[in-house]
Structure 1
Amino acid sequence: MLSLSRLAYTALLTLLSPWAKKRMAREKVNEFSERQRAGHLSPFEKPVIWAHCASMGEVLAAEPLLKALQERHPTKQLVVTTMTATGAAQVRQRLPEARHYLIPLDLPWNTQRFVKTLKPLVGIIFETEIWPNLIHSCHQAGVPLIIANGRLSPKAFTAYKKIRPLMADALKKITYLAAKSDEDAERFIALGFPKGRVEVTGSIKYDLQLPSDFQQQLAALKEKLTIGERPVWIAASTHEGEDAPLLAAHQQVLAQQPNALLILVPRHPQRFDAVAKLIEDKGLSLARRSLEEPINATTQVYLGDTLGEMLLLYALADLAFVAGSLEPIGGHNLLEPAAVGVPVITGPHLQNFSEVADILRQADSLKEVKRAEELPLLLEQLWADKMVCQVMTNAALAVVEANKGAMNKQLTLVESLLP
């Protein structure tokens, strides 16, 4: 039976569904994408462990936990859903034995169809994906759910407070919350999550695992690209509004270091062509990763317009600027460049990674700028002082190592829900 809050939510989402479907169409994965958004799946021969990761960042964070589940439960089928095409690409690359589907639009007839076919033994929802009808359909079918690496930024908390009855109705149907911090746990509880079902486990993002052949992949890529000894910096996971000031900063860098190279990686694939045109309009020499164009002595910008290669691209650089932080996006994962030994720089908007940023600051392993115009001077200073860069790198690696362990705690919680 629909609660009043969920009835109102469903009615509103039904009215908005043409717009929602149009937005979702931009995240097309294959010819079955539209059917998947309606909850249509292929049947399964094995019992299913289901995990939902919104996008690329969540898949990368979830990878250690999901691989551990695959290894420890070989008779089960891992099914991973994502909201985005970038997340789908990461699932295919990093979890090839898993089956991937796009998450259905959160309407009762879609979610009931999805859960009825999936029949999961357990559902693992990563970070902040609260879909009331999907959660209710799982609850009706007796599927235990856990929010893993539970994260609720101050901005998201403020928004969810406005619809607290709807959130409370959904959250009380979730079996466990594995929160990444005390602050996140308190926000979930304030929205109505039962306090007795909350465990603060730390962030699973510290348990990021590099592929066993990562160094071989990196060496092969360096040899293929012939970057040489030139100064290289990367601006990764950029959003609209960030590319132009970052390219302007690179032009200032080039005035001092004519052989400098910027690796520019837009966050969303639908922006790749637009960013390539922007680079050319700025008069900068461009090579595109997707076209396997070589980097030569005159290349000034290398566009990382592929999916699933972020860690490799980070490792190519001397210095890493993590975007989504110049505009009020909330930042992206600061631990990825840290894990591959590259000094980390970020902008001022870090509400999605405030706890990680605080820990890195305390270890003196994070540099911050308020605007892109400050980057050229900072880059020059870091390139000139190898000792500072090494200290930053060592401190960041120590932070990553010291904060590992959340994965094992969350694995224990998930396994406690399996029959």
Structure 2
Amino acid sequence: MRIFYNLGIRAYGVIVWLAQPFTPKAKKWISGRKNWRKQLYNQPSLQGCYWFHCASLGEFEQGRPLLERVRHENPDQKIVITFFSPSGYEIRKNYEGADCILYLPLDTPQNARDFIDILQPDKAFFIKYEFWANYLFELKQQKIPVYNVSGLFRKEQRFFKKNNQFFRKVLGCFTHFFVQNESSKQLLNSIGISNVTISGDTRYDRVSENVKHIVSHPILSKFSSNHAVMVVGSSWPVDEDLLLPLINSGAIPERIIIAPHEVHESHITAIEKKLSVPFLRLSSCDSSTDFGQTHVLIIDCIGLLASAYYYGNYAYVGGAFGNGLHNILEPASFGLPVIFGPNHTKFPEAQTFIQAGIGFSISDETTFLNAYSSILSGGDTLRNQVSNFMSDQIGATQIIFSMI
């Protein structure tokens, strides 16, 4: 099986290489990995570092509370971060909390040996997913502790299929698993893995910390002043096709802040064409803007979603009419009940929110209006319920840090 795995890894590398002329992301994936050995050799001594590997930006934010706790407790500890995806690396390549940030070289046996021989980490942390067999086998061979942080497992994963000993051996390389929930622990236990602790999700620690550092935004503050606000966060066209007719009809009388997932001009223009109520783009506003009749404010830049949630009363989070629900912990950290679409089975926080009565899954206009009515009737009591729930989830970072 290992032979087929290695063939598959090399085939993947070839496919990405061939895609370079047509896909900018593929081009970055390849170019970012060039001369990685030289990049490591040119760094000041990194031996004895703590190595954090993240698939992309979401996993980085998940591992960040632990990484920053390590750095806070021991400022001299060297930190190395690797990313698999350009969408993580390109955004965080200048993050100041690490001594070295680079792409993870393709998971071939030679790359894994060379990478770990050069780096010689004291400990390795793989955040949530990412089970690269050759790296994990090499870490185990060199007796370097490796931890799975905020792990999340589902029964349909290949580890839990019959006659799949290879990938179970991959899991056997981990020194310890810190998983998010009981079902993940039980799945690992079912294949003979007992070195498991339910720590919870470190993202709760992250969003809780972010709330403390939100800075007032004058335009959002002025738009929201003396008005109830619904924040539409990380929306896709399918989300907007559901919500904008309701906004146009007056079914949602609150002021609306829309922060779409993609802020390129064609998407912003498409949203504007679908609106029949008065709207403005954030980029067109300044301190003198009169929002008197404005019903919708469109955030046409990145980096302000958390600030928008700060001014909201409840939120709709996009992505769950497609393949992936976006971050619902962030609005909840501000005490906002959250509405989202139906495709959320891979996101346990969504089920947890629903069970706690602070999250509402919808599938059409009717179910949206039902959720909207429940939120309005809940009022401040529901918002307090959200805040109390979020406070109860904090602490995963401390559990992990105390054990490593």
TM-score class, shorter-chain normalisation, is 0.7 to 0.9
The alignment status of 1:165 with 2:156, answered yes or no, reads: no
Q: What is the match of residue 176 of structure 1? A: 176
Report the RMSD for the aligned CA atoms in angstroms: 3.5
Match of 2:6 among 10, 20, 30: 10
Match of 2:274 among 273, 282, 290: 282
Cα distance in 2 for partners of 1:287, 1:36 equals 47
* 1:58, distance to aligned residue in structure 2 (A): 2.1
* 1:232, distance to aligned residue in structure 2 (A): 3.5
| Residues 244 and 275, structure 2, Cα contact 8 Å, conserved in 1 | no
Match of 2:401 among 397, 404, 411: 411
Alpha-carbon spacing, 1:29–1:361, altered in 2? closer, same or farther (3 Å): same
The alignment status of 1:320 with 2:318, answered yes or no, reads: no
* 1:86, distance to aligned residue in structure 2 (A): 4.1
| Residues 250 and 262, structure 1, Cα contact 8 Å, conserved in 2 | no
Q: What is the match of residue 302 of structure 1? A: 298
1:237-273 C-alpha deviation (Å, 9 max, x unpaired): 44xxx4234244223212215784341331xx6x745
Alpha-carbon spacing, 1:186–1:369, altered in 2? closer, same or farther (3 Å): same
- In structure 1, give the amino acid aligned to 2:14: P
* 1:125, distance to aligned residue in structure 2 (A): 0.7
| Residues 149 and 179, structure 2, Cα contact 8 Å, conserved in 1 | yes
Cα distance in 2 for partners of 1:103, 1:373 equals 46
Cα distance in 1 for partners of 2:316, 2:366 equals 13
Cα distance in 2 for partners of 1:234, 1:408 equals 32
| Residues 48 and 78, structure 1, Cα contact 8 Å, conserved in 2 | yes
Alpha-carbon spacing, 1:278–1:127, altered in 2? closer, same or farther (3 Å): same
* 1:183, distance to aligned residue in structure 2 (A): 0.7
Match of 1:367 among 336, 353, 360: 360
Which of 1 and 2 has greater Rg? 2
- 1:135-284 matched pairs, under 5 angstroms: 135-155=136-156, 157=157, 161=161, 164-190=164-190, 192=191, 194-208=192-206, 209-211=208-210, 214-215=213-214, 217-220=215-218, 222-223=220-221, 226-238=223-235, 242-256=236-250, 260-266=255-261, 272-273=264-265, 275-280=267-272, 282=274
| Residues 320 and 342, structure 1, Cα contact 8 Å, conserved in 2 | yes
- In structure 1, give the amino acid aligned to 2:308: L
Cα distance in 1 for partners of 2:99, 2:381 equals 39
1:333-386 C-alpha deviation (Å, 9 max, x unpaired): 4322111222211222222333x334433432222212366435644x368x3x
- 1:377-388 matched pairs, under 5 angstroms: 378-379=371-372, 381=373, 385=376, 388=378
* 1:103, distance to aligned residue in structure 2 (A): 2.2
The alignment status of 1:357 with 2:355, answered yes or no, reads: no
Cα distance in 1 for partners of 2:264, 2:132 equals 30
Moved more, 158-167 or 388-397: 158-167
- 1:48-67 matched pairs, under 5 angstroms: 48-67=49-68
Cα distance in 2 for partners of 1:375, 1:37 equals 49
* 1:221, distance to aligned residue in structure 2 (A): 5.8
- 1:85-100 matched pairs, under 5 angstroms: 85-88=86-89, 91=92, 96-100=97-101
Cα distance in 2 for partners of 1:274, 1:34 equals 32
Q: What is the match of residue 26 of structure 1? A: 25
Cα distance in 2 for partners of 1:299, 1:35 equals 49
Cα distance in 2 for partners of 1:370, 1:78 equals 44
Cα distance in 2 for partners of 1:39, 1:186 equals 43
- 1:81-120 matched pairs, under 5 angstroms: 81-88=82-89, 91=92, 96-120=97-121
* 1:130, distance to aligned residue in structure 2 (A): 0.9
Aligned length: 391
Cα distance in 1 for partners of 2:113, 2:280 equals 47
User: What SS does structure 1 have at the residue aligned with 2:101?
Assistant: strand
TM-score by length of 1: 0.79
- In structure 2, give the amino acid aligned to 1:13: I
| Residues 325 and 347, structure 1, Cα contact 8 Å, conserved in 2 | yes
- In structure 1, give the amino acid aligned to 2:244: H
Cα distance in 1 for partners of 2:317, 2:173 equals 36
Moved more, 164-173 or 251-260: 251-260
Cα distance in 1 for partners of 2:109, 2:365 equals 45
Q: What is the match of residue 417 of structure 1? A: none
The alignment status of 1:335 with 2:329, answered yes or no, reads: yes
Unaligned runs of 5+ in 2: none
User: What SS does structure 1 have at the residue aligned with 2:169?
Assistant: helix
| Residues 39 and 113, structure 1, Cα contact 8 Å, conserved in 2 | no
| Residues 44 and 118, structure 1, Cα contact 8 Å, conserved in 2 | no
- In structure 1, give the amino acid aligned to 2:204: Y
Unaligned runs of 5+ in 1: 415-419
Taking only the aligned residue pairs, the percentage that are identical comes to 18
Cα distance in 2 for partners of 1:199, 1:405 equals 13
Cα distance in 2 for partners of 1:60, 1:252 equals 34
Cα distance in 1 for partners of 2:137, 2:323 equals 32
Cα distance in 2 for partners of 1:263, 1:219 equals 15
